[in-house]
Structure formats: structure tokens, C-alpha cells
Amino acid sequence: MTTVSLGRFLLKRAVQGLFVVWGVVTVVFLLRFITPGDPVTFIAPLDASQELRRQIAAELGLNRPIYVQYLDYLWGLVWGDMGYSYISNTEAGARVFARLPATIELAVAATVVAVVLSIPLGVVSATRRHQPVDYGATLFSLVGISTPNFWLGIMLVLVLAVQFGFFPTSQRGIGFLPAIGQTLAQFDVGFVVGRLLELQLFDVWKYLTELPVTTWLAHITLPAITLGTYFTALITRLTRSGMLEELGEAYIRASRAKGLPESLVRYKHALRNTLAPVVTVVGLQLGTLIGGAVITEAVFAWPGLGTELIRAINLRDWPIIQGSLIVIGAGFVIVNTLVDALQAYLDPRVVAD
Amino acid sequence: MVDLDPLPFVSNETLTRIREALTPSPRTVRNLRKELRQSGLAKLGIALIVGVLLMAAFAPVLAPHNPTNQNLDENQLPPLGFDRQTTNTTSEMVNGSITIVNQTSWVNSTVEHPLGTDSLGRDMLSRTIYGARTSLIVGIVGTSIAALFGVTVGLLAGYYSGRIDDVLMRSADVMLAFPSLVLAVALVGLIGTASVRVPDPFVLAGLTPNMPETFTLPGTVIIVVGLVNWVWFARVSRSEALSVRSEEYIKAARSVGASDRHIVLRHVLPNSITPIIVLATIQVAAIILLESALAFLGFSGTTLSWGFDIAQGRQYLSTSWWIATVPGLAIVVTVVGINLLGDWLRDALDPGIEGEGGGP
């Protein structure tokens, strides 16, 4: 496989991705015309005159032909302009992108939870087939994919936040980067080491729990588990079945026959081949999690893109609705394309297909 | 069905293969039954599904109370075995000074309301039984809409290939860029939650006079959950149609002058049906989860929905945990049942199905 064909493959995927993003933008734009209700009625006062309504429509450019509005919107997007919010008169793009970090943070945290739990669980489950741990993992993944995640979130809040008070019930508290920054700035190594030497462990514990990064961790734990459980269950299943399949292959028998230690056979050969498709799925899930976080954000009052989208839908704040949907859709396409590119780089057979 | 006898140019072997492909094999059906007897999990799944189906069908007969009747005197009663203590703080004037009196009293569960009552004193057991109706109707009708639309698109794309295939599959890519929950929230939120009231046959027949006279179907929700999930059916049926279209029997049918319509409906569809059935089973589960999520977010057309009850119970978490807990357990039990059946069907039929089919 030459590098030229890999480059051409990536270019082709990028162009395809661009077309899908264009499709996403078009669908989102058309949404305003296929759903009932005139945006002006939501903005204008109830007793507004026809004249005032016409004036508002003209000011927002809503009285122009659809194709003019469409081209204008597309042209604006090229320059990163999504128009102004109907309600708050701030730039829609700025609003949407201000909410994006919270959602990405949540999606990444959920993915971390899912990967850290699911892959070991799937491997153990496959290597100890028909043992209690396998049944446990299978039961967990069955219930995991069958549980509505908003309900799981509420149950976690009920037990861990309301009853025991281990975690805050909602809100984000502090962003990841500010938390890290502030912690680094205020962390007092001398104090901690000093107290440790004096064996004042409680003081050290108390000091650690009051750090900004601990606040961040406390706030994100329950939302991340809530969002991550479905994917944990999914990837556990995938790892288990992939591992079982690989362990039944001829090359595994050959490795065992030539006397390789079982741990090497399992983890170097079987696990490695199992992980390739798993990594693809994990990457793709990250893309869906950006939009999939909508309901988790609603449960925890998480100030992300989903919360913004629902608020905008209820107020018919069209520039924000369109902006959030485009960011969710385009985010998925971009992550998808990157995963494809990574896969093509790692496994040249993909390019040949 | 095409008459196979006037096909002298086809070898006997091919003819047998064609016949096998065209007639449902009794062997497969028998195998399924045999495997079902061996699989305890599949039996458990079917038992759970039948239980929920019966609950939905006979809701007016099974429910001890009218699920919409409010009784504020009996609000937030705990389920059986979970009697709870409450503290009422009142102030009293004693000898010219105000003293604060804490009165502790027990709120006892009653046999009348075995799963307790919600914040308006409505019976949780009855609401849970009626909620099964909403979930199953949305799940089954929504899946049917998705399957009808998706399979049509997929079969056409796969059978004709070329330009049609490109256009349809690119539009599927655009659909897939949005998680189904996001699309459903946007559509239901923007279109509005229209609902249809259907008279309840049991009440109409005078069998259960105390129950609600009509049942509310969340119309927008049903259509939207169908529309946002068609892509999965399109993809699966397309790949099936693609693999079937070059088979010998399709060529045979075409050479005797069968119309495209005939070939697609009578030959391509029956030979692609197995993975579609498996997918449909999983989709019912995914759509039930989707409906509950929509209802939780307030985008529903009915108040008799498990998701709606979870949303209202959430406000009383610190005092009445059961209001949010009970309907959630009902969802888990239902969806576990359907997933057990789906897993077993997938293993038993082994169609090498693609995709997992959404889910919030």
C-alpha cells in the first residue's frame, strides 16, 4: 500500500464528510419551514400590530425568498456567523460554542468511564466463560443497555447525593481547565508533605477535598456514569464477543501449540485483535455522545449544548436551534471522519475496500 | 409466485435452490422452537413481554384505581412495607410566647395503594399499568412506521443500486449525523405534541365504569420516533438486498419476465426478512427508551407515561423516592424482556446484523 492511496483515501473521506455536513446544514435550515409556527409570533408582543410584525420579519430578513435566506445562511456559516439569538440578542455562534466545552468534557468523561470499566470486564468475562464473573458481566451489560439513562441518573442522585450526600445533586461547578489551573496555582506541597510527616492524615484529606479539581471531579462523576453506562454495557458486550471469537481462531491454537504462555496468547494476540473494532466503536460513540448528552444534561442541570438546545426549542430561538443542531451534526461527522482516518492509518486494509 | 416449471434452461439443482428459497423452511421454524425450549433466558424474555402486553391490553381491568383520579388527602403514600416518618413543624402561642412544636407522625402505606401514591394522590400501581399501554403502543407502532419506510427505501436502494442508491444512502448519512434523541426532541418540540383520544373498549362496553373513558395516544411522538429510526432499517435491508440481487433465482425470475415490483416483494423481501425481524425487535426496545426520554423532557402528548411519571417524581426525590423509582423499574423490566428476546433471535437466526440501533 502506497502513501499516495492513503492520501487519496483521506481526501475522499474529507470531501464526503463535507457533503454530509452540507446536508446537515440544509436539513437544519429547512426545519424552520417544515415545522408549523411563524418565528415572528414568538418574538412579537401578543398585541403587536400587523405593521410591527412585518417590520420584525423584515429586520430579521425573514420576508425574503427561501433560497435567498438559505444562501445567506450558508454564506454566513462559511465565515462562522450563525446570526443573532432572537431572544437575547447575542451572537448565536458565540452562545453555542460557549456551551460546547461543558458537553465535550462530559462526553469525554463518559467515554473514559466506559473504556476503563468495559474492556477489562469484557476480557475477564470472555476468558472465564460460564463462571460467576461472566454471568455477572453479562447481566450487567443486559441491564445496562436496557436502563433509561435519565432514570439511572435520578437513582444515582437519590442514593449517592440525596441520601448519603457523597456528591452534589446537579450543576457543573467549575470547568476542567480552570480547575486544573487553579489547583496547580494554589497547591501547597510544603503543607501537604508537612502534615503527612506529622501524620495529620485527616488534615491532608480535608485539604485535598477542598481543591478545585476535587470540586470538578465531584460534579462530573454522576453525570459521567449516567451518560457512560449504556456505552459501558455496549462495549463490554463487544469486547466479550470479539475476544471469544478471536480465542477460537486457528492462530490462537497455533500459539498455544508452540508453547507460548497463556497470558501472552490472551493479551498480546487475542486482545490486540479484539481491540481494533472496539476502538472504532469507542471513537464513533464519542461523536454520538456530544448530542446524546442532551438528557443527561437535563437531569443534572449541566450547562451544555443539550440544555441550550432544549431552552432554544421552547423559546423558538431559531438561530440557536440551528446553531446547536449543526454543531451536534457536524461534530459527529468530524469525529467519524477522524476515526476513519485513524483506522485507515492503522490498518491499510481499510483503504483497499 | 412465479411458475417455475417453464424454466427448461435452469438446472435441476438451481430449481431446488429456488424452491427452497421461496418456501419457508419448516426446519428453521422447528429449530427455533427446539432452541427456545433450551434457552431459559429467551423464555424469561418472552414471559416478561407477555406480562407487559397483558398489562397494557387489560389495563382497565387490572388497575385497582383510575390512574388519573387525584386524592390530595392521600398524597405521597409510601409503597407497602415502606412506612415513613414525617415531621411537621408548627408554632403555637403558649402563655403569650411562641413555641415551636415538632410533631412526628407516621405516614402508613395502605393495601389500597400497594405501590404508593404520587404527589397528587394518584395510585402508582394503576399509573404503572396504564403506562405500559403508552410504551408498547409507541414502541410497536413507531417501529412499524420506521420499518415500513426504512425497508422500502433500503430494498429500492439495494435492488436498483446506482444513482438511487447513492441519493438514498447519502440522505441516510445525514440522518445518522444526529442522535435519534436529538432529532426527536427537535421535531416533537417544534411540531408540538398533538395527541389522539381513543375510546377505551372496556369502558365503552360498561365493564369498568370507573376507569378513564378515553386513552390518549401521543400522535406526534409515534410518528416522530418512527421517522427518526428508519435509517437502521434502510441500512440493513439495503445490504441484504445487495447480497440477494445477484443470486441465481433473482436472475431466473427476471428472465421469465417478472416485474421489478414482483421480484422485490416476492423474492428480495422474503430473503432479507430475518435480520429485519431481529432489528425490529431491538428497535421496539430502543423506541420505548426514546419515548420515555421524550416524556421525561416534557415532549409527550400524554400524562400516562412512565417517562412523565419519572419527571414528576424527580421533584419529590427527598421525600417520596418511589414516585420516580417505580415507573423506571417498569421500563427496565420491559426493555430487558425485549432485549432478551432480541439477543436470542439474533443468536438463533445468526443473520450477522449490522448496527445496534440507537438508544439514548
- Mind listing the pLDDT tens digit for each residue in B215-274? 888 989 999 999 999 998 998 899 888 888 888 888 888 888 888 888 888 888 888 888
Examine the pLDDT at B146 and tell me if it is beyond 90. Answer: yes
Size of the A and B interface in Cβ pairs below 8 Å? 138
Considering only residues A340 and A17, tell me which one the structure prediction assigns the higher pLDDT. A17
Among the listed ranges A121-135, B21-35, B103-117, which one has the minimum average pLDDT value?
A: B21-35
- Chain A residues in contact with B294 by the CB 8 A cut-off are none
pLDDT at B19: 59
- Chain B residues in contact with A19 by the CB 8 A cut-off are 170
Examine the pLDDT at A353 and tell me if it is beyond 60. Answer: no
- Mind listing the pLDDT tens digit for each residue in B277-305? 989 999 999 999 999 999 999 988 888 99
**Residue A3 binned pLDDT confidence (cut-offs 50, 70, 90):** low
- Mind listing the pLDDT tens digit for each residue in A40-74? 777 777 777 888 888 888 878 788 888 888 898 88
Q: What is the pTM of this model?
A: 0.86
Examine the pLDDT at B102 and tell me if it is beyond 80. Answer: no
- Mind listing the pLDDT tens digit for each residue in B339-348? 999 888 887 7
pLDDT at B3: 45
- Mind listing the pLDDT tens digit for each residue in A217-249? 888 989 999 999 998 998 998 899 888 888 888
Say if B192 is an interface residue toward chain A (CB within 8 Å).
yes
Examine the pLDDT at B104 and tell me if it is beyond 80. Answer: no
- Chain A residues in contact with B359 by the CB 8 A cut-off are 145, 230
Q: What is the mean pLDDT of chain A?
A: 85
- What ipTM did this prediction achieve? 0.88
The answer to whether B360 contacts A149, with C-beta atoms less than 8 Å apart, is: yes
Examine the pLDDT at B175 and tell me if it is beyond 90. Answer: no
Average pLDDT over residues B73-97: 79
pLDDT at B358: 37
The answer to whether A31 contacts B328, with C-beta atoms less than 8 Å apart, is: no
The answer to whether B181 contacts A157, with C-beta atoms less than 8 Å apart, is: no
**Residue B257 to residues B128, B160, B161, B254, B268: CA-CA distances in angstroms?**
55, 17, 20, 5, 16
Q: What is the mean pLDDT of chain B?
A: 83
- Mind listing the pLDDT tens digit for each residue in A85-113? 888 878 888 899 999 999 999 999 999 99
Find the closest chain A residue to B175 by CA distance. A24
Among the listed ranges A331-340, B139-148, B190-199, B351-360, which one has the minimum average pLDDT value?
A: B351-360
Substitution target from A145, A241, A324 for chain B, most B beta carbons within 10 A: A145
Find the closest chain A residue to B183 by CA distance. A325
**Residue B356 binned pLDDT confidence (cut-offs 50, 70, 90):** very low
**Residue B41 binned pLDDT confidence (cut-offs 50, 70, 90):** confident
